[in-house]
Amino acid sequence: MRLRAAALAVPFLAVLFAVSSCSSIPEDWRTPAFLQSEEDDYDSRLPEVSGEVGEEPKVDFSDKAPPQDEQITDVVEQGAGENELVRSTDIIQAEVVEYQWTAEGKAEKTQSTYESGAPILLNLSQLGEELTEGLVNQPVGSRVIYAFPPQDPAEAQAMGQPSPAPGASVSVLDIKERYGEGQVVPGEQTAHGGDGLPTVHQPGHELPDIEIPDSDPPADLETQALIEGDGPEVEEGQQLVVQYTGMRWDDSTVFDSTWNREGAEGVPSTFIIGAGQVIEGWDKGLVGQKVGSRMLLVIPEDMAYGENAEESGSPAGTLVFVVDILDAVDSAPPPEEDGGGDGGGDGGGDSGGDSEETAEPESE
């Protein structure tokens, strides 16, 4: 899968993702003051956070001054699910509320996914340790707070970032879901393809066995639910979380798979569906399918990479995919362009750190 940068829609990126590369983090930020013990040990330098996890938190900055040269991270509340601990290779779904903290007792809320109705997906393997340390080994249902000191404008400019807002930044993050290594949709396969389509078997949490028939491929897009999910239907513009394998029809070669990706075997992938960020066969074949489904897609050349695919290093001809739709998460609409030149990401493909995964199958 080729990854292309796509602008995230919430300011959480502007803080966490802007500092997620160790080369861009000031030396004195790299060891956060992190406490992960009892609630009584909550760092007194942080604002007080109240309210139920799963609802927008209330954050009280009274008598608290923003940090000037140190990142402070702490767990506000631990979730109860001991069998749902976040791992360092997970993708997590989270709600985030952001504040700009300008002076003692003075802060302004700048963003809330609770208000936008669009939680974010974070691939922890792509974040630095100073950001994941507050999340790894926490149960789903936990609430974590990050306070970042003001960013140096010159440093932001050197990184190609827009000029930072004045003051420190605070992010309160609620962990809603985790998607881990080897995760597959529940249920047993009730269909296996055949009758001119590939035959598929996926025993357990491993690379599916796909057998291509000794015949010409179908001329049109073919989709079949091997496992029929019972979740909501996938909608255009949503973020999908999937396991998948892609194979060429012509030579039965697996050219890409989440199951055997070097260094991340079995780790799911995320991308936005129905928005032209993936090949047409994915957009048309997955929109309208139910979350929890395992889908067989047979995608003709003109809905994959076209007749000149090999020139760009992409897999040529008819492609076959087996896709487990683990989840579909609403996305925030892209920010409106105001022409002011001082805002966040503009959705460009080479915008640097503020990015998330998008799927584009590729050749080996």
pLDDT confidence bin for 7, thresholds 50/70/90: very low
Torsions phi, psi of 95, nearest 5? -95, 140
pLDDT confidence bin for 161, thresholds 50/70/90: low
**pLDDT tens digits for 296-338?**
999 999 999 998 988 888 999 999 999 999 999 998 765 555 4
Please say whether the beta carbons of 304 and 247 come within 8 A.
Answer: no
Q: How many CB atoms lie within 10 A of CB 284?
A: 16
pLDDT confidence bin for 157, thresholds 50/70/90: low
Distance from C-alpha of 94 to C-alpha of 194, rounded to nearest angstrom: 40
Q: What is the pTM of this model?
A: 0.80
Q: For residue 203, give the nearest of 193, 214, 213, 192 by alpha carbon.
A: 192
DSSP string, 69-100: S--EEEEEE--S-TT-B--TT-EEEEEEEEEE
pLDDT higher than threshold 70 for residue 172:
yes
pLDDT higher than threshold 70 for residue 40:
no
Q: What is the pLDDT of residue 184?
A: 95
pLDDT confidence bin for 280, thresholds 50/70/90: very high
Q: For residue 246, give the nearest of 122, 360, 98 by alpha carbon.
A: 360
CATH number of 12-179: 3.10.50.40
- Residue 285 is classified by DSSP as H
Domains 12-179 and 199-329 share a fold: yes
Assign domain 199-329 to its CATH architecture: Roll (3.10)
Three-class secondary structure of residue 187 per DSSP? coil
Q: What is the pLDDT of residue 41?
A: 85
Q: What is the pLDDT of residue 336?
A: 57
pLDDT confidence bin for 162, thresholds 50/70/90: low
Q: How far is CA 151 from CA 13, 18, 163, 283, 311, in A?
A: 14, 10, 9, 39, 43
Q: What is the pLDDT of residue 25?
A: 39
Q: How many CB atoms lie within 10 A of CB 157?
A: 12
* In the chain, domain spans: 12-179, 199-329
